Amino acid sequence: MKVYQTNEIKNIALLGSKGSGKTTLAEAMLYECGVIKRRGTVEAKNTVSDYFPVEKEYGYSVFSTVFYAEFLNKKLNVIDCPGADDFVGNAITALNVTDTGVIVINGQYGVEVGTQNIFRTTSSLKKPVIFAVNQLDGEKADFDNVYEQMRDVFGNKLVLVQYPLATGPGFNAMIDVLLMKKYSWGPDGGVPTIEEIPADQMEKAQELHQLLVEAAAENDETLMEKFFDQGHLTEDEMREGLRKGIADRSLYPVFCVSAAKDMGVRRMMEFLGNVVPFIEQVPAPVDARGREVKPDNDGPLSIFMFKTTVEPHIGEVSYFKVMSGTLTPGVDLDNVSRESKERLAQIFCVCGQIKTPVDKLCAGDIGATVKLKDVRTGNTLDGKGCDYLFDFIKYPAPKYQRAIRPVTESDAEKLAGILTRMHEEDPTWEVEQSKELKQTILSGQGEFHLRTLKWRVENNDKLPIVFEEPKIPYRETITKAARADYRHKKQSGGSGQFGEVHLIIEPYTEGMPAPDTYRFGNQEFKMNVRDTQEIPLAWGGKLVVCNCIVGGAIDARFIPAIVKGLMDRMEQGPLTGSYARDVRVCIYDGKMHPVDSNEISFRLAGRNAFSEAFRAANPKVLEPVYDVEVMVPGDVMGDVMSDLQGRRAIIMGMNSENGFEKIFAKVPLKEMSSYSTALSSITGGRSSFTMKFSSYELVPADVQEKLLKEYAEKNTEE
């Protein structure tokens, strides 16, 4: 195939909610370019995009699909992204390596929560956007209503390039107000008939054309002056003005299509080829050292690996974007992310599962390679003399967790390898081997997200697995001061074991004054602090140990052993076996034996004294509480609020945003276990939420009592 220069390449992300018709639109685009001779359908499971077995099983996109189209002497690299919110990581990746987002709107249902979420992502990344209102031939399609909704949500930057003459099953014609022509199709779509605009539509078309001209002129002072002088712009001037407006997000063009019948698709592609900004016309990416990296064919060679898949009969396929320079097969590159070397024996242009070998890829182009030795998603590979490093993709925090284990314990190592590979394919699948919970925790964006992984492990890798409710990482702490002493004494012939420790514990808060005097009953204990250790805990909070020993009651060499004993109990709290935090311990007295005292004796004495004091210090269990934001349609607001309150949520506030209601709440993690599924059920999949760790808070008394009882029963059984 032809080698395309940087100024002939456009990279586009195909985005939108689940069911908006992106995969069908991708088929129509490929058909219009002659890449495929016959359009496939999702129902027939023969589309270019959804070619993985799990996608055919479920009937929706799970992975983003890269394809290219040669059109109008330009190369359009398109990444078709899954619409389900659970697979948002694919869309975020695609937007980071493309230059323009085409957001597909379902003409029957309008702007959905997923649409808003992805638009918000384009805003944060400052990516140009055009809209394609699809399925205008659907039974419930209503373009005017959808466009009004779009204006409410996306503002007055929207500009109509086209409008339909009718929507619903009778959709077969539209007016293009950029070219000022009428496009109409036969029952099967395909090649349109292009005619002059009918008289009864001319006034509306001229009015919308004038708005489009004004929007184009606003982005260039020269064009604005010419528009004021002459009242019109040439077609080339219109294109230039629109291109600048799209590039700086000061306007969002709106197109009309029926992807299923291939109506309006070619016209939209003409706009993508002629008007959408080229790679060098959008802001250049910045590397990890803050340097702007322009797509220069003659610059130092650097490629960014943005996606990894394992494909049948091929193995591992690595997708990349050429950030700078010109890439040829057989080149040796340094993997600066992993400090290793790689040779790219072959490079390909990709169209779904079809890989076409090429001799060269220029800066800004997207391609793939296979069978690399030590490359991971997110790595940067540089040529000789180049030191670029890219790390610009930021993924959202997980929203759904399950503990995962193989049915057969001996398969644990095999499962670990599979999960590592899965994370490479989709970084929003996160895996943690939790020492605290003694579980492997799998985190993702929702129940469907994790269910998809389970299907693949069981069907592709033939490894049966089990999902379980993850344990909650509770914490233990104390609420008042307490005193205890413990003597460890053991004699079994020869040297024995002896150690006695007296200590006082109290709740620790940052900046509290040094310990002075404590009173328990009629006894007063005055502390003389010799030294203080502050031990930051890996799980949060601190253990502070004050050595208040006087008169050599315990030799200084045994203090570290006592601290180890304290840490033993901090790592396995006396109440529920959870980590303890925020405790100050004053070791003020004890006894030792000239022969039998040793480190193990004082470690055990310190641990048991701490346990006794902890239980007497009005101990409490803390639970992780998360800040949760829920975006819901107004008609189900009450149901969502009731559900949250049933989850012990504290509602912190509410506001409206672009026709949706946003609820802010603090919710215990324990209650969020199945929230994504429940919210989807309550709202018919029209809502979304985010959650972020906030703090540890005291659990209610009834919950603590239940936890203590469960822990006691478990220990009895063991």
Task: Give 279-313 pLDDT, tens digit per residue.
Answer: 888 888 999 999 999 999 999 999 999 999 888 77
Say if residues 562 and 602 touch (Cβ distance below 8 Å): yes
Predicted confidence band of residue 188 (pLDDT cuts 50, 70, 90):
confident
In a domain, 197, yes or no: yes
Lowest-confidence segment of 52-66, 150-164, 207-221, 446-460 by average pLDDT: 52-66
Boundary residue ending a domain (423, 452, 471) = 471
Both 180 and 49 in a single domain? yes
- The domain spanning residue 531 has which CATH number? 3.30.230.10
Can you give the pLDDT at residue 718? 58
In a domain, 222, yes or no: no
Helix and strand counts by DSSP (H, E) for the chain: 16, 36
Boundary residue ending a domain (351, 382, 413) = 382
Which amino acid is residue 303, in one-letter code?
I
In a domain, 654, yes or no: yes
Whole-number Å distance between alpha carbons of 391 and 360:
25
| pLDDT digits 0-9 by tens, 606-646 | 999 999 999 999 999 999 999 999 988 888 999 999 999 99
- The domain spanning residue 66 has which CATH number? 3.40.50.300
Both 366 and 486 in a single domain? no
Sequence-ordered list of residues with C-beta below 8 angstroms from that of 451, at least 6 positions apart, any chain: none
Question: Token pair for residue 478?
Answer: 């104390």
Both 664 and 573 in a single domain? no
Can you give the pLDDT at residue 595? 86
Both 137 and 264 in a single domain? yes
In a domain, 1, yes or no: no
Selection from 287, 289, 284, 275 nearest residue 363 by Cα:
284
The number of C-alpha atoms within 13 Å of 51 and in the hemisphere containing its C-beta is 17
| 137, pLDDT greater than 90 | yes
- Point out which residues pair with 144 in neighbouring strands: none
| 716, pLDDT greater than 80 | no
Q: Looking at the 3D structure of the chain, how many domains does it have? A: 5
- Identify the DSSP state of 223: H
Whole-number Å distance between alpha carbons of 491 and 497:
6
- Antiparallel, parallel or unpaired: β 158-160 and 129-134: unpaired
Average of per-residue pLDDT across 185-194: 90
Would you give the end-to-end CA distance of the chain in angstroms? 68
Both 353 and 440 in a single domain? no
Both 433 and 577 in a single domain? no
Both 118 and 172 in a single domain? yes
Give the three-state DSSP class for 35: coil
Both 459 and 480 in a single domain? no
- The domain spanning residue 676 has which CATH number? 3.30.70.240
Sequence-ordered list of residues with C-beta below 8 angstroms from that of 484, at least 6 positions apart, any chain: 502, 503, 505, 609, 610, 612, 613, 616
In a domain, 240, yes or no: no
| 555, pLDDT greater than 80 | yes
Both 413 and 495 in a single domain? no
In a domain, 231, yes or no: no
Whole-number Å distance between alpha carbons of 498 and 491:
9
Both 561 and 694 in a single domain? no
Whole-number Å distance between alpha carbons of 673 and 281:
45
Both 114 and 263 in a single domain? yes
Boundary residue ending a domain (456, 471, 486) = 471
In a domain, 233, yes or no: no
- The domain spanning residue 345 has which CATH number? 2.40.30.10
Predicted confidence band of residue 231 (pLDDT cuts 50, 70, 90):
low
| 234, pLDDT greater than 80 | no
- Antiparallel, parallel or unpaired: β 331-335 and 315-324: unpaired
Both 444 and 429 in a single domain? yes
Range of the domain at 658: 622-703
Whole-number Å distance between alpha carbons of 503 and 590:
9
Whole-number Å distance between alpha carbons of 350 and 371:
16
Average of per-residue pLDDT across 95-110: 95
In a domain, 221, yes or no: no
